[in-house]
Structure 1
């Protein structure tokens, strides 16, 4: 479960078993977790985050989408 980005209290990561799904990233903070699809960035699911925090996370992820896609492709496709 590689961490691909950290900012403030947030950790963005992939699960190694996610290879067969479209590119996405998981975000966790404390006991909260969300999953965002990449290309285009959109929320897949969220547990524990407030709606305004999900919106802020979506904007943050959109700003680093290219780097996250690069990390996804490097991790899953070498």
Structure 2
């Protein structure tokens, strides 16, 4: 299961249900996918094909939606 947290600017922000416990979010574009750590700080963990512009946009949107991402993470994983 891969619940979508939100979509914006052609990017899909989502989680994978069966992955590591450190808080993070995946971002998918038409070009590729990236993974960003949310804790301890927001930072790029992996990039597979996304452009620098997409990564900057994703990082900005993650910072803007950080509270929603954290809330959705806890709702999904703290069962």
TM-score by length of 1: 0.88
The aligned length equals 77
Q: Write the distance in 2 (CA, Å) between the matches of 1:7 and 1:53.
A: 11
Which structure 2 residue ranges, 5 or more long, are not aligned? none
Secondary structure of the corresponding residue to residue 58 of structure 1: helix
C-alpha separation between the residues in 1 aligned to 2:21 and 2:35? 12
Relative to structure 1, is the Cα distance of residues 56 and 8 closer, same or farther in structure 2, using a 3 angstrom cutoff? closer
Instruction: List alignment gaps of at least 5 residues for structure 1.
Output: none
Higher helix share: 1
TM-score between the two structures when normalised by the length of structure 2: 0.87
Quick check: 2:4–2:13 contact (8 Å CA) kept in 1?
yes
> Displaced runs of 4+ in structure 1, greater than 3 A?
none
Counterpart for residue 42 of structure 2: 41
Deviation at 1:22, TM superposition (A): 0.6
2:27 aligned residue = 27
Equivalent residue, structure 2, for 1:2: 3
